[in-house]
Amino acid sequence: MIKFDQNMCSNLARSQHREWLETNGLGGFASSTLCGMNTRRYHGLLVAALAPPVNRFVLLSKFEETLVLEGARIDLSSNQFPGAIHPQGYQFLVRFEKLFFPVATFRVGDWKIQKTVFMVHGHNATCLEYAFTGPQESEAHFDMRPLLAYRNYHSLTHENSDLQRDTDIGEHHAKFSPYPGLPPLVIRHTADFFFRDGYWYKNFEYLREQERGLDFSEDLFSPGNFRAVVKNGTHLWFFASAEEWSDLTREAELQRFAVIKQRELERRQGLVKGIKSTEKTSFYFRLAADQFLVRRQKDSPTVIAGYPWFTDWGRDTMISVPGLLFVTDDYPAAREILGTFVRSMRDGLIPNRFVDHPEAGEEAEYNTADATLWLFHLVYELARRTDDLKVVKQRFYEALIESFECHRRGTRFGIRMSDDALLSAGEESVQLTWMDARIGEQAVTPRHGKAVEVCALWCNALKVLEFFAKKFGDRGKAKELTSLARQAQESFNKVFWNPAAGYLSDVVSESGIDASLRPNQLFAMTLPFSPLEKQHRKPVVAVVTEHLLTPFGLRTLAKNDSHYRGLYQGSAYDRDFSYHQGTVWPWLLGPYATAYLNAHSRTTRNKKHVRSLLEPLIQYMLSEGVGQIPELFDGDVPPPEEGSPRPPGKGCLAQAWSVAEIHRVLMEEV
């Protein structure tokens, strides 16, 4: 169990940096901090995906919770306002833990209040359960004031006259419809009363947004206040939903909520049931992985790249599938996900990103040179792991052939096969690799031309297609691919190997060679059909180890490079400039681990060494990460000392490929 004691919980400076996450399998989520103070615009108890998994709206920001004892009001919530924290309920927080659900425990005198939060899988709904323990024969009142945001999750809201205050009040529900065009928020409950009033609470401040150089102040609307009489043994429920639920009696409502909780608990227990691995942390990785697996509107599965702000991206999905699905033998879901992207293929490319409003005529974005090549890799891995060539022949082979032909003759964004059989892509204003940060029309890490990992993936794709062509008796195509694959491999080593530096150049183009020391070269030795000559593998791993390896991932650029930026902070401009210019990405430990073992052999000693490299990230996941691994870290973070706090994660609080790649290594490499 992930748990924090009173020393951590009541330390606002530390507890506000630890964020929990609940998801619903639709792209919706609930999230906040240990102390209950929202520090991001993305925090909220119900962030609903109105067009799953996109079109997210923060409907219910939070509840203000107050215990009333003999007329004295003790507030349990915490908020940042200009120059003040009010109220300071974190002082009563004595424990926070997470196994299957986040659970916070407050103590006020002789009273203990245990708060459990969870989302309901497949529904835009969040459930809160409060269990009260107090003196026998004593009663107290408990107030719950909902604070509504009702805005797109990238935005902020302020007091306005458009908000409609009408509230539909039932015996055990309150229905709020603040704005036309958005679904009502229905809060089902087991409280005794709902007092209708209607106030704007102003100037909530979100510290993480302030640090990011963005607008950080918001007003929230409260339509009223729930009140319940509580005593020892009382269980109080609140069920906030963007969907309609039938009215029941109080006793039936209690039973319904208990059943909903039990079903969700059993679903999550089923995710970890029967784990055969001796790796103890696999339990947490499976629960973390499940939060990224969602379904689109037409019931097709996909992968959320990261919470709280990313949706489903092609590249992230392809890289994440092995660690999310292959390692748990969920091949049916993997086939469905790959099928979704194949059906969306255009001009030989799978989408880089699906759009938020396809019904309005928006087309998916296809600006990626590598996502489709990762698809080739995954189809091969699917066939290798399942020995099911029939599915490949029926569902994927023709699409892979078509994609190959499009790449060979040239497709969108200047992606084409060059005369040396390597793949060239892009132009100065277009970012097609995973290092895709842009500021206006300026590419922060311009990598147009022949990028090392794209060409490695291309060489691998040619061999994958050759393999399938031979298996399916497509002799003419197999012969053609054999020749191209041989030429591509020879060209790869000739074009990219830098004998003076002892590693691979990052990009080669008509304008010259970019010999920046980056981690992208590792993919030349992690794929099933590696193009890199064996004598060059150990030198590559050695130089990456010396200059890029950190306890929390790999730097994206060597520190001695003049373009290195070791801190990811400040305005959006500053952060974009450092995004791939030195920041540490945890997911890169995955390819590093595979490359290390490929170069040095898979002895027990080497596997133990690789496992030890993952330990700082695992410990982060079980503490600061509250069960998740973030998108990135600063590049300038020194190695952690025993007993010292770990560095804060940056970017998304939960990133799919960060979790997936570490999980893959734990389950299959060590």
CA distance 590 to 613: 11
- The b/e string for 57-69 (b: 16+ C-beta within 10 A; e otherwise) is bbbbbbbbbbbeb
Please check whether the two domains, 2-272 and 344-537, share a CATH topology: no
Prediction pTM value: 0.95
CA distance 403 to 609: 40
Query: Does the pLDDT at position 195 exceed 90?
Result: yes
- What digits encode the pLDDT tens for the residues 117-128? 999 999 999 999
CA distance 206 to 217: 7
Q: What is the pLDDT, as a whole number, of residue 443? A: 87
Q: Where are the domains of the chain?
A: 2-272, 344-537
How distant, in Å, are the alpha carbons of 106, 596, 640 from that of 665? 39, 12, 22
Query: Does the pLDDT at position 359 exceed 70?
Result: no
CB atoms within 10 A of CB 426: 24
Q: What phi, psi does 91 have (nearest 5°)?
A: -65, -20
The model's confidence at residue 402, banded by pLDDT at 50, 70 and 90, is: very high
Sheet holding 125-133, edge to edge: 2-4, 93-98, 102-108, 111-119, 125-133, 235-241, 185-189, 173-176, 167-169
Query: Does the pLDDT at position 297 exceed 90?
Result: no
Q: What is the pLDDT, as a whole number, of residue 365? A: 92
Instruction: Indicate the class that CATH gives domain 2-272.
Output: mainly beta
- What digits encode the pLDDT tens for the residues 225-248? 999 999 999 999 999 999 887 777
Q: What is the pLDDT, as a whole number, of residue 298? A: 65
Among 9-18, 76-85, 354-363, the range scoring the smallest mean pLDDT is 354-363
Q: What is the CATH number of domain 344-537?
A: 1.50.10.10
- What digits encode the pLDDT tens for the residues 1-36? 899 999 999 999 999 999 999 999 999 999 999 999
